[in-house]
Amino acid sequence: MGQPYSKSPQGYEIHYATNHLGHFALVGGIVDLLRRDHSRVIIVTGDIAVIEDDASPDYEYSDDGINAYCRSKICNQAFGRLLQQRYSELSVYVVHPGVIDSNLITMPEGSLLRRIEVLLRPYFMINCEVGAQTSLLCALRDDYPRGSYVHNVFGLCNYHATAAHDGWSNEMWKTSEELCSHHKVHLHY
Pairing of strands 155-157, 149-151: antiparallel
Annotation says 69 is catalytic: yes
Strand partners, 43: 94
**Catalytic entry in 69, 87, 93, 149:** 69
CA distance 13 to 68: 8
Nearest to 13 by CA among 5, 22, 24: 5
Buried b or exposed e, range 106-120, using 16+ CB within 10 angstroms: ebeeeeeebeebeee
Residues with a known catalytic role: 69
